Chain A
Amino acid sequence: MIEVNDLSYTYPGTTRPALDKVSLRLGEGEFVGVVGANGSGKSTLCYALAGFLPTLYQGECHGQVQVAGLDPIRAGPSALAGTVGFVFQDPFSQISGARFSLEEEVAFGLENLGLPREQMAGRVKEALALVGLSDLAGRSPFELSGGEQQRLALASILVLQPQILLLDEPTSQLDPVGAKKVIESVDALTAERRTTVLLIEQRLEWMAAHADRAIVLDAGRVVADGPAREILTAPSLDALGVRRTRYTLAAESAVGRRLIPSPDHLPVTLEQAAVLLR
């Protein structure tokens, strides 16, 4: 589904590459988490995969990228519409500004792709329900809180049913309960459709609950790539500016003090920790 070989990218006016010889492969239906400190290149990686480079930012780009059989760097975002869905960090600039209700805003992409009108209502309703915005369907997109805007941005992409979903901190402005619900429904939906998901998320606990695999970026380089639980508990994360969960740290300290026997894998989530203590 996604294949990246030796991709390097430098923003215009900078000298240090934001992506440095990145190589990775993602298969159909895989759910992969990406972690790394601020400025490590997570968003830039998504820009490259979504065809936002060099349309949005010029700059130096080297290497090969294939997404769903297309080269996003040559093809641009419009050729990927409907195949690759990208929810980026700033929700406000993802609102079209040309539609006057959430329903219409979510339908905007479907209109552009020429979906027959009879199929629109159902898809729009489903997408709004998935992100918890059903009650606001008639509200203006300009009268939303930050968290609601973020839900809207996600719904506007999910409604397109892309084969590949790139989610750049899609719930950073949601309340914890809401964020958990939204991530869970996205996970259920994408598992059912065998969507390939790349999720950037600061809260490792949620990432571990859904991702099979995790990738760590540091200064534009992939420094770790493997099973989520193994990667997200590695002590080396501390030095890379990624904070491991309290369950990981607690278990690690308990092992260090010989309170519990050393497990195969430290826990990331509460559930994993509970299993360990049993």
Chain B
Amino acid sequence: MSPAPSLYLPQPTGLQPLHPLTKLVLTLTVLSGAISLADPRYVFATYGLILVPLAGWSRILGPFLRYSFRALAPFLLSLVIIQGFFYPGELVIFSLGPFHYKAEGLGFALLFSGRLLVGLGASLLLLLTTRMDHLMQALTQRGLSAQIAYIVVTTLQIIPRFQSRGEAIFDAQRARGLKTEGSLLRRARALFFLVPPLLFSSLMETDARAVALEARGFGKPGPKTSWAVLTDSGGQRIVRALCAVAALAMIGIRLAAVARPR
């Protein structure tokens, strides 16, 4: 019933009930896999055989696929076209006048898009199944500074409010006679009048808020406690350790392969 902070979609099963650190480590492991694997087929397999089933298990498959493709489609298209023509290579697939479309370029574009897809997917999986405040709480318990945790959580929370405030200020300026439609110059001028009040009001606000937070003990030295209980388990600890070893191994192998003289 409490509205979703950022992208989080609560579910009783799947990844959601796991400890935030487990999900973070999982995400980082998949990410390191994506940058270590040099064959686009393996990279796409990581997406299809690991991330998609995990999303299904967590009952977020719909939004997971929607967000992935919406963000990736423009990249995919432009990469496949541009790299195919301009990446250096020998194996010409077809030619358009003086331009040759090459297999090496296509391969590079696929690998790059695959990595983007996996990177994006792994991050999405984390965001969709994890409350950021809980993740930050877990990291704070492991030594992250409370200030940094606060900034991360509030930034995620503030972005949508910033947008609506922007609109409100835009409306107010328009009511005072500022023209916000029309030529590019006119719109640029409108933006010029929009940005300072937006920045100013958010700065003023954070100032008073920062002091109000201090008055509620934020930043006070000494032990802290937390309202939320993050449940962990021996099994998850083992999974995290294994993931970390796997990630390091993949990166190690990749580095060795790159460093080896041909």
Contacts and interface: CB of A to CB of B under 8 A. Distances in A.
A117 B209 CA distance: 25
A253 interface: no
B133 A109 contact: no
Interface in A83-114: 84-86, 88, 90, 92-101, 103-104, 107-114
For chain B, give the interface size range.
20 to 34
Contacts of A269: none
A4 to B, nearest CB: 19
A255 to B, nearest CB: 46
Interface in B34-63: none
B225 A115 contact: yes
A103 B226 CA distance: 12
Given A111-B226, A112-B220, A116-B225, A77 B215 contact: yes
A57 to B, nearest CB: 9
A218 to B, nearest CB: 26
Nearest to B222: A114
A98 B133 contact: yes
Given A52-B211, A104-B228, A140-B3, A81 B220 contact: yes
A156 interface: yes
Nearest to A143: B3
B176 to A, nearest CB: 23
A133 interface: no
Contacts of B219: 78, 112
Given A112-B220, A114-B224, A139 B2 contact: yes
A147 to B, nearest CB: 19
A93 B2 contact: no
Contacts of A116: 225
B181 interface: no
B216 A109 contact: yes
Contacts of A156: 216
A92 to B, nearest CB: 7
A116 B59 CA distance: 35
A55 B211 contact: yes
Contact of A111 (B158, B208, B225): B225
Interface string A61-77: 00000000000000011
B19 interface: no
Interface stretch (B149-157, B236-244, B251-259): B149-157
10 A-B pairs closest in CB distance = A112-B217, A109-B216, A81-B217, A107-B227, A77-B215, A93-B208, A97-B154, A78-B214, A77-B214, A100-B5
